[in-house]
Amino acid sequence: MADQAKFADQAMEYMPSLYSAAMRMTRKPADAEDLVQETYLRAYRGFGGFKEGTNLKAWLYRILTNTFINR
């Protein structure tokens, strides 16, 4: 449960900037929303492996980019 709260506190603040990046990639609002949703799902599942003290924003952007490429 602590990881859920920590994820919500730390990662959710980047949603607007991730959505902007997703819009630049997909050029469609619905596709951008799906991409961000899938990014957050993957990030949440992998949050236990995230190393505290590293760049969370860069980690999320990397997941976003890889998710877009692998679609």
pLDDT in tens, 18-65: 999 999 999 999 999 999 999 999 999 999 888 888 999 999 999 999
Q: What distance in Å separates the CA atoms of residue 7 and residue 71, rounded to the nearest whole number?
A: 25
Residue 4 pLDDT class (50, 70, 90 cuts) = confident
Place of tokens 């969370």: 56
Can you give the residue range of the structural domain that contains 12? 2-69
**Beta strand ranges found along the chain (DSSP E):** none
The answer to whether 25 and 39 have CB atoms below 8 angstroms apart is: no
**pLDDT at residue 60 in the model:** 98
Question: For residue 46, what is the domain's CATH number?
Answer: 1.10.1740.10
- The identity of residue 18, as a single letter, is L
The answer to whether 35 and 70 have CB atoms below 8 angstroms apart is: no
**pTM, entire model:** 0.91
Overall domain count for the chain: 1
On the CB side of 42, how many CA atoms lie within 13 Å of its CA?
17
